[in-house]
Amino acid sequence: MSAILRPSRTRSIPCAIAVALAAVLATPSAQAEPSSWLSLGGGYGFQHDGYFGGTDKGGVFTGALGVGSSSRSPFVVGGVFRTNIFFQLGTDISLSARVATGSFARGDWGVALDLGVAGRFWRDQDYGHFPLQAMVIAGAPWGFQLGVGADVWDVTGDTPKARGGFAVIEIDLLRLTAMRSGTTTKWWPNPSAIDGPRPASEDPPPP
């Protein structure tokens, strides 16, 4: 009977696709030496059941993959595909735009902000269907990072709306290896950094 009483959300699918395409198109085209991210981690999260009431809490596993502009700039702009697995609930899949400091992309101290839309296809969307997802990530050397995120609202205007959050500790394998060209190179040189310092042979001749 409860399935019959639920409002139809079929019309929300085209809206979500349009939002996802807009996020992709807003991401700048890759340059010759783009930044790259590949992180895995875990932590704790909570999500509010907007249909039956109550809040579910538990562990969460996260993974993210993305690309952005050159880390040689003070700020890096790109896009990130992320999955959040809430144990005993379900899996979110999101597409977000990312703005980060260049030092973050180079595997050093820095910060990044992700903002996008998540797709939720579990528990009959009682926890929201296409929530707005925001995440702030504090980056440390050696690929470590701490992320705090929130899921709110629903971009389609459907109800129930999402209301929840999560905090995770991650390690970015590319910030640790291929992208690493920050202060950690004093202790562990990285001669093959993807977007590292320009070789002397490429510097323009002095005037």
Residue-wise pLDDT tens digits, 5-35: 444 444 444 454 444 444 444 444 434 489 9
Whether 19 is covered by a domain: the verdict is no
186 CB-side CA count, 13 A: 5
* Distant-in-sequence, close-in-space partners of 180: CB < 8 Å, separation ≥ 6: 106, 107, 143, 188, 190, 193
Tell whether 195 is covered by a domain.
no
6 within domain boundaries: no
Residue 22 belongs to some domain of the structure: no
Q: Each residue's pLDDT tens digit in the chain (207 positions)? A: 333 344 444 444 445 444 444 444 444 443 448 999 999 999 999 999 999 999 999 999 999 999 999 999 999 999 999 999 999 999 999 999 999 999 999 999 999 999 999 999 999 999 999 999 999 999 999 999 999 999 999 999 989 999 999 999 999 999 999 999 988 999 999 888 887 654 443 344 455
pTM > 0.75: yes or no: yes
In-domain check, residue 18: no
Instruction: State the total domains in the chain.
Output: 1
